[in-house]
Amino acid sequence: MPTPASRRAVLAGTTAAGAAALAAAAAGCGLVREDEQSAGAVDTTAPAVDADSDLVSSVAEQLAETLSLVLSTGASVRPVRPLTRRFAALHRAHLDELGQSGDVSAGRVAGSPATARARLLRAEERLQAGLARAALKAESGALAQVFASMAAAVAQERAVAR
């Protein structure tokens, strides 16, 4: 009987496969010109600067909202603080990558450590799904890869948190 795969190997493989699938889905961003279809030429002009700006703003807003919850949870629920530090660093790095400020306000959250942790992990799951959707919507292949990478990073932190 073969030896069972380790949890780490399964999580790493699943995360890598998911990121690869998102990147592959977002890779076909070149547009074929109608008059050059027979030659197989690809339009290499970059999309308009504003094509993805609304999407970037939306993703940055999601990241900032989740970061605010992370900081609030860390400030209010001491046992969850080590987890919130990792997520806060990740979200600040993602906001920085998008050229956005990571300065968000932290409030207070109520509830037991278990409730706060569950609420935080649900928010991270929603963020991961939003990042994956953004990767599929992005006009720019490079931006799609950035969003897919961000989704994979959140998935990895969620897997470690369990």
State pLDDT tens for residues 41-75.
445 455 555 679 999 999 999 999 999 999 999 99
- Residue 2 falls inside a structural domain: no
- Residue 1 falls inside a structural domain: no
Q: What are phi and psi of 49, to 5 degrees?
A: -55, -35
pTM value is 0.69
- Domain count of the fold of the chain: 1
Q: Is 17's pLDDT higher than 90?
A: no
Residue 44 confidence (pLDDT): 47
Q: Considering only CA atoms, give the Rg of the chain.
A: 19
- Give the count of beta carbons closer than 10 Å to the beta carbon of residue 148: 25
- Residue 108 falls inside a structural domain: yes
User: 127-141: per-residue pLDDT in tens?
Assistant: 999 999 999 999 999
Helix, coil or strand: residue 160: helix
Helix, coil or strand: residue 90: helix
Contact partners, residue 18, CB within 8 Å, separation at least 6: 151, 152, 155
Question: Residue 135 sits in which domain range?
Answer: 7-161
- Of the spans 3-17, 25-39, 92-106, 144-158, which averages the highest pLDDT? 144-158
- Residue 64 falls inside a structural domain: yes
Which domain CATH number covers 75? 1.20.1260
- Residue 110 falls inside a structural domain: yes
